[in-house]
Amino acid sequence: MSELRKLEVLRAIVEDYVNSREPVGSKALVDRHHLGVSSATIRNDMAALEEEGLITAPHTSSGRIPTDKGYRMFVDRITEVKPLSVAEKRAIQSVLSGSADLDDVLERTVRTLAQLTNQVAVVQYPTSANAIVRHVEFVLLAPHQALVVLILDSGKVEQSVFDLGQQLDSEQLAGLRGQFLSTLSGISVNQLPIVLDALLALTPVQLSAAAQVLANGLTALAQAAREERFMVAGTANLTRSNVDFPLSIGPVLDALEEQVVMLRLLSEMAQDARGVSVSIGRENSYDSLSEAAVVATVYGAGDAKLGVLGPIRMDYPNTMATVRAVARYLSRILAG
């Protein structure tokens, strides 16, 4: 058996099984893929592939399906990620453009990715560990109550209402806003506690109670911004693929709901030369995802990732292309 034909037979089995969900036999391969050899030769090739652990028989029939190892070899032989069509690119661009709000952009992104791939789509919020303070805003809601807004260069906006501990008028709050903004603008959120302590030392005594509340509020908002979280869409796509999870779909849904497992997996996935990461079945270090595959990539200036989760029986070439294309559009929007 030649190495080249072995890869062709494996590719044909993967493609047919992904499309049909049915075990693939030698006659079907000969009829559909024009491999230039007889059914008997293909049967011998399939026996060799099975011996190497690349395909297996799910039951006593002549049909075979790929194993995790077989999918891995198939994915590794995808030499380059094909570009999306012009229509697909326009669809992505039209959906993602037109919003400067990070939550809205990420929601559109994850929804679009789920629709294009028919899988569960996930997107991490940009990391804020080294984010820079872009703007601080205080809005007086009542003489003793203010809305505190923290805007970071990552696009994150955190806000909450705080009781000031004393009564202020609009002019006094505006003065504090100017003092805070001029001091904090351009600094890293990691520096926030130290800079705030220095700022409070210079605050007039008559405004110290409110200034302390505002400083505590900004610290809490910065902490909230640093928390790792992601957005999910398309869970219904996963439930429609229930037949691809012979043990149980429950652990996969639990992993999505708890988020910790997915966040750890995404952080562990190393991007390859094609600009994507692919983790298949038992390659996932978490038992709950042993029947799933994840395709992901980074976006933006940081190390936040977006991707899709679905059954191991996945259209990897199209999924890889779509994930990479959506990430590029999202990066442009956030940079602009």
Q: Render pLDDT for 124-147 as a digit per residue (tens, 0 to 9).
A: 988 766 788 999 999 999 999 999
Lowest-confidence pick of 81-95, 144-158, 274-288: 81-95
- Of the residues 226, 241, 272, the one at which a domain ends: 226
- What three-state secondary structure class fits 123? strand
Residue 219: pLDDT over 70: yes
In a domain, 303, yes or no: yes
More confident residue, 43 or 334: 43
Distance of CA 176 to the CA centre of its chain: 39
Residue 80: pLDDT over 80: no
Mean pLDDT, residues 296-305 taken together: 84
Residue 175: pLDDT over 60: yes
Confidence of residue 168 (pLDDT cuts 50, 70, 90): very high
Where residue 153 sits, what CATH number does that domain have? 3.30.390.10
**Beta strands 120-124 and 230-233: pairing type?**
antiparallel
284-297: pLDDT as tens digits: 888 888 889 999 99
Mean pLDDT, residues 116-130 taken together: 85
| Residue whose tokens read 């590794």 | 76
**Are residue 213 and residue 325 in the same domain, yes or no?**
no
Residue 1: pLDDT over 60: no
**Are residue 117 and residue 239 in the same domain, yes or no?**
yes
- Of the residues 208, 226, 244, the one at which a domain ends: 226
**Are residue 238 and residue 324 in the same domain, yes or no?**
yes
**Are residue 279 and residue 236 in the same domain, yes or no?**
yes
Give the mean pLDDT of the chain: 87
106's CB contacts (< 8 A; 6+ apart) are: 123, 125, 231, 330
pLDDT at 48: 92
Q: Tell whether pTM > 0.85.
A: no
293: domain range?
86-126+229-335
pLDDT at 267: 84
In a domain, 199, yes or no: yes
More confident residue, 24 or 156: 24
**Are residue 242 and residue 267 in the same domain, yes or no?**
yes
Sheet holding 133-142, edge to edge: 133-142, 145-152, 157-163
In a domain, 81, yes or no: no
In a domain, 324, yes or no: yes
Phi, psi of 298 (to 5 degrees): -85, 160
Lowest-confidence pick of 211-220, 266-275, 321-330: 266-275
| Residue whose tokens read 């209402």 | 161
Could you tell me the CA-to-CA distances from 76 to 24, 192, 216, 264, 272 in Å, in that order? 21, 45, 50, 23, 10
pLDDT at 332: 85
- What three-state secondary structure class fits 213? helix
pLDDT at 189: 86
Residue 235: pLDDT over 70: yes
Mean pLDDT, residues 9-28 taken together: 91
- Specify the number of domains making up the chain: 3
- Of the residues 197, 226, 255, the one at which a domain ends: 226
* Residue 224 burial (CB count, 10 A): 15
